[in-house]
């Protein structure tokens, strides 16, 4: 049946409903994808990832700042195929652990394009970063400066010169977002307070083998207004002139069509670069930004299959995934939308439940679906960030595959976990 339903920008670029009303992602029919690869499955439109990467890079160039770099916050989608795609697109990469560092190097990022974060970096992680030649280490606390200086004094970078360092500062700026993803407030677990920043700079400068390059701040995630970023930049400028500013990530995205559109990538980058120029008169040679979800969230959807439908007080539609593939609703009440993948004009009030043994395992608290029945394929858009990253095996559920779609071709870039994978680490 032909349908006039149009898709919002919550869905990946290039998504459409075909003449039968079936959702296509990257030119691939989602009903066929569910048949071929099973569900739950993360489905990613490859061209969407590339388009967003290019939009960020072009926006920096258009603002006339040559030494501007887009650093993908790999925590948003730490999957080799995604990382390799962004490496090919010329992005840099933010890693926050030895494991993320391993993934980024394995995916092909040049070490000098890596930025190492973390509020509790271990000695082993710091040593690994020095040995692999990571471009920038963002120091978070005095213990780490001491540890890093000690490792450098002991020959840390194997004759490769000084280690370039940024100091992470929490500028006491609050963006409007969930408290669990707000990081810029004074009493944050991340970074140095503004009052401590001077002491941090001095200690880096007097430590062996460290070269202080600049400052870093990340004030929070899912920020839908640009003013907090401008305030962040004004606060950073008060700390003095540095050649490198890393302004963090945090640009919000649209998770549901009834949420207002997020700021455009061009407007966000424009606001940041212009504020940086206004406050520091172009003193910073190098500007970095670290988008995570703004690069990947809307590139991905998750496919599920309905297992049961029951009418209690609400109509409960239970699918074959849930908090093991998307923890965000459970973690901080994140809101998503859902559709039957081949019948988008839903009018039945439903609650979309996961299969896990927690009452809180509800993927979408309130949604309109078209008379869902067991066997129907359900799609939740905007799941390309922090879903795969936070996936887990609760209730012994194997983690889903990642399917890349492009021009009608689908390929598995991460296979589905097997039951054998669940016991693979057992020693006896």
Residues that bind ligand PLP (CB under 6 A): 73, 75-76, 94, 117, 218, 221-222, 248-251, 290-294
302: left (phi over 0), alpha (psi -120 to 50) or beta: beta
In sequence order, what are the residues at sequence separation of 6 or more whose Cβ sits closer than 8 angstroms to the Cβ of residue 5? 17, 21, 344, 345
Q: Which is nearer to ligand PLP, 25 or 136 (CB)?
A: 136
How far is Cα 144 from Cα 118, in angstroms, rounded to an integer?
10
β-bridge mates for residue 330, sequence order: none
- Residue 243 gets which letter from DSSP? S
The residue with tokens 């677990």 is 189
Question: Least distance (Å) from ligand PLP to the CB of residue 289?
Answer: 9
350 given a catalytic annotation? no
Q: Which is nearer to ligand PLP, 247 or 378 (CB)?
A: 247
Structure-block tokens of residue 388: 């795969």
Composition of the chain by helix, strand, coil, percent to 5: 30, 25, 45
Strands 362-369 and 348-353 turn out to be antiparallel
Residue 355 Cα distances to 308, 320, 324, 391, 415, angstroms: 10, 6, 9, 14, 21
- Residue 331 gets which letter from DSSP? H
SS (H, E, C) 355-411: CCCCCCCEEEEEEEECCCCCCCEEEEECCCCCCCCCCCCHHHCCCCCEEEEECCEEE
From 28, 350, 357, 405, active-site residue = 357
How far is Cα 216 from Cα 244, in angstroms, rounded to an integer?
9
SS (H, E, C) 101-158: HHHHHHCCCCHHHEEECCCCCCHHHHHHHHHHCCCEEEECCHHHHHHHHHHHHCCCCC
How far is Cα 252 from Cα 219, in angstroms, rounded to an integer?
12
Cα 252 to the chain's mean position, in Å?
Answer: 10
Q: Which is nearer to ligand PLP, 156 or 329 (CB)?
A: 329
Question: Least distance (Å) from ligand PLP to the CB of residue 170?
Answer: 11
Q: Which is nearer to ligand PLP, 28 or 73 (CB)?
A: 73
Structure-block tokens of residue 359: 């009452």
How far is Cα 77 from Cα 56, in angstroms, rounded to an integer?
17
How far is Cα 394 from Cα 313, in angstroms, rounded to an integer?
27
How far is Cα 114 from Cα 74, in angstroms, rounded to an integer?
10
Residue 176 Cα distances to 70, 227, 290, 327, 348, angstroms: 23, 10, 19, 21, 32
Could you give the residue numbers annotated as active site?
357
């Amino acid at each position: 049946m032909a349908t006039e339903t149009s898709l919002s920008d919550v869905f990946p670029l290039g998504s459409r409903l075909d003449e039968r009303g079936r959702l296509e992602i990257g030119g691939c029919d989602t009903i066929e994808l569910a048949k071929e690869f099973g569900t739950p499955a993360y489905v990613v439109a490859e061209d969407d990832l590339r388009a967003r990467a290019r939009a960020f890079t072009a926006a920096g160039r258009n603002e006339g700042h040559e030494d501007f770099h887009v650093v993908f916050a790999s925590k948003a989608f730490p999957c080799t195929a995604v990382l390799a795609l962004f490496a090919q697109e010329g992005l840099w990469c933010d890693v926050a652990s030895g494991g993320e560092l391993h993934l980024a190097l394995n995916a092909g990022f040049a070490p000098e394009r890596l930025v190492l974060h973390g509020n509790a970096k271990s000695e082993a992680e710091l040593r690994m970063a020095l040995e692999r030649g990571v471009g920038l280490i963002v120091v978070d606390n005095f213990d780490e400066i001491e540890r890093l200086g000690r490792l450098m004094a002991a020959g840390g970078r194997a004759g490769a010169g000084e280690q370039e360092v940024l100091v992470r500062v929490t500028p006491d700026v609050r963006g409007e977002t969930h408290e669990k993803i707000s990081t810029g407030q004074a009493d944050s677990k991340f970074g140095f307070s503004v009052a401590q920043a001077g002491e941090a700079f001095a200690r880096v400068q007097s430590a062996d083998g460290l070269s202080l390059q600049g400052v870093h701040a990340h004030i929070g995630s899912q920020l839908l207004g640009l003013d907090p970023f401008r305030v962040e930049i004004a606060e950073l400028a008060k700390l003095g002139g540095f050649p490198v500013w890393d302004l963090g990530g945090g640009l919000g995205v649209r998770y549901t069509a009834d949420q207002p559109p997020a700021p455009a990538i061009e407007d966000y980058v424009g606001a940041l670069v212009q504020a940086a120029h206004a406050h520091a008169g172009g003193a910073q040679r190098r500007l970095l930004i670290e988008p995570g979800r703004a690069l990947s969230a809307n590139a991905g959807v998750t496919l599920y299959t309905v297992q049961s439908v029951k009418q209690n007080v609400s109509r409960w539609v239970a699918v074959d995934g849930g908090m093991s593939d998307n923890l965000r609703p459970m973690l901080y009440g994140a809101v998503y939308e859902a559709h039957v993948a081949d019948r988008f004009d839903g009018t039945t009030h439903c609650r979309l439940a996961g299969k896990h043994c927690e009452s809180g395992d509800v993927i979408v608290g309130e949604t309109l679906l078209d008379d869902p029945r067991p066997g129907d394929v359900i799609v939740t858009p905007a799941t390309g960030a922090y879903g795969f990253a936070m996936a887990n095996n609760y209730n012994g559920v194997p983690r889903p595959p990642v399917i890349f779609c492009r021009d009608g071709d689908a390929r598995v870039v991460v296979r589905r976990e097997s039951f054998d994978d669940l016991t693979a680490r057992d020693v006896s």
